[in-house]
């Protein structure tokens, strides 16, 4: 078989597989324990957070490890919405999002949140002009996927973020397809939260991370 679907998943590379084996054998302690094994694990965890933060231009205090992109999306969006003022019950996502976001929307609807799904333009791009008519006083969050796994189209988040920031609206992006493949910089893009995954970039299945900019209210 010739495997070409690397946008869906990748095999673990030798470097990741070797490191995975070493850490499981030599740094298996509970990172919360006070003994040497726990201290080694805590150091490794902190070091890993810093490395991931460096890769996205963020701060290590904002990195939360998860089981993958789906959990990162669900954890971040729910936490942000729960941390917003009670009247901010409206959120927006693009029509191009991963199916995990649609599953989450069903759950949030039962919790009293209102969702608007915005269609891109004819070229598949999310623009200021597309978003602007849907922004309200009670809009708290906008979620736009950084790149689409089907088309490869990369969204210009830096063009959208000022429009949202001046209205006090937070911006989340699912960057599972771009993390580790192209430059991802949360400060340059102006995003408040980001979702990434390991198995798209030669890492293990069941590993991902959510980034939430420190200082952002969440619950």
Average the pLDDT over 154-182 and give the result. Answer: 97
Q: What is the pLDDT of residues 187-197, one digit of tens each?
A: 999 999 999 99
| Of 134, 135, 201, residue with least CA distance to 168 | 135
What's the 3-state SS for 48-83? HHHHHHHHHCCCHHHEEEECCHHHHHHHHHHHHHHH
Which of the four pLDDT bands, split at 50, 70 and 90, describes residue 86?
very high
Helix (H/G/I), strand (E/B), else coil: 16: helix
pTM for this structure? 0.94
Longest dimension (CA), the chain: 59
Cα gap 17→30, rounded to integer Å = 21
Task: Give helix 99-110 / helix 69-83 axis angle, nearest 10°.
Answer: 30
Q: What is the pLDDT of residues 19-44, one digit of tens each?
A: 999 999 998 999 999 999 999 999 99
Average the pLDDT over 73-99 and give the result. Answer: 96
Average the pLDDT over 57-73 and give the result. Answer: 97
Classify each residue of 17-54 as buried b or exposed e, where b means 16 or more C-beta atoms within 10 Å of its C-beta: eeeeeeeeeebebeeeeeeeeeebbbeeeeeebeebbe
Amino acid 149: pLDDT = 85
| Of 77, 133, 127, 85, residue with least CA distance to 106 | 77
pLDDT at 81 over 90: yes
Domain 14-212 top-level CATH class: alpha beta
Amino acid 29: pLDDT = 93
Do 127 and 121 contact (CB within 8 A), yes or no?
A: yes
Do 164 and 140 contact (CB within 8 A), yes or no?
A: no
* DSSP states along 19-47: HHHHHHHH--S-TT-SSHHHHHHHHHHHH
Do 135 and 167 contact (CB within 8 A), yes or no?
A: yes
Q: What is the pLDDT of residues 112-128, one digit of tens each?
A: 999 999 999 999 999 99
pLDDT at 150 over 90: no
Amino acid 135: pLDDT = 98
Amino acid 41: pLDDT = 93
Amino acid 42: pLDDT = 95
Average the pLDDT over 148-156 and give the result. Answer: 91
Q: C-alpha angle 118/154/103, rounded to 5°?
A: 45
Average the pLDDT over 47-70 and give the result. Answer: 97
| Number of neighbouring beta carbons within 10 Å of residue 213 | 18
């Amino acid at each position: 078989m010739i495997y070409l679907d690397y946008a869906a998943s990748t095999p673990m590379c030798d470097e990741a597989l070797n490191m995975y084996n070493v850490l499981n054998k030599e740094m298996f302690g509970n990172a919360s324990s006070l003994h040497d094994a726990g201290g080694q694990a805590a150091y490794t965890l902190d070091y890993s957070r810093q490395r991931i933060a460096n890769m996205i231009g963020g701060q290590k205090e904002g990195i939360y490890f998860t089981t993958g992109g789906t959990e990162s999306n669900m954890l971040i969006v729910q936490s942000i919405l729960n941390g917003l003022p009670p009247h901010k019950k409206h959120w927006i996502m693009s029509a191009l999002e991963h199916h995990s976001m649609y599953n989450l929307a069903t759950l949030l609807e039962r919790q009293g949140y209102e969702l608007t799904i915005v269609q891109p333009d004819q070229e598949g791009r999310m623009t200021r002009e597309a978003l602007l008519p849907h922004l309200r006083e009670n809009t708290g969050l906008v979620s736009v996927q950084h790149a689409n796994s089907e088309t490869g189209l990369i969204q210009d988040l830096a063009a959208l973020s000022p429009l949202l920031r001046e209205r006090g609206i937070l911006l989340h992006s699912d960057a599972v397809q771009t993390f580790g493949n192209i430059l991802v910089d949360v400060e340059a893009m102006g995003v408040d939260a980001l979702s990434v995954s390991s198995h798209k970039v030669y890492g293990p299945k069941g590993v991902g991370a959510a980034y939430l900019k420190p200082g952002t209210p969440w619950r």
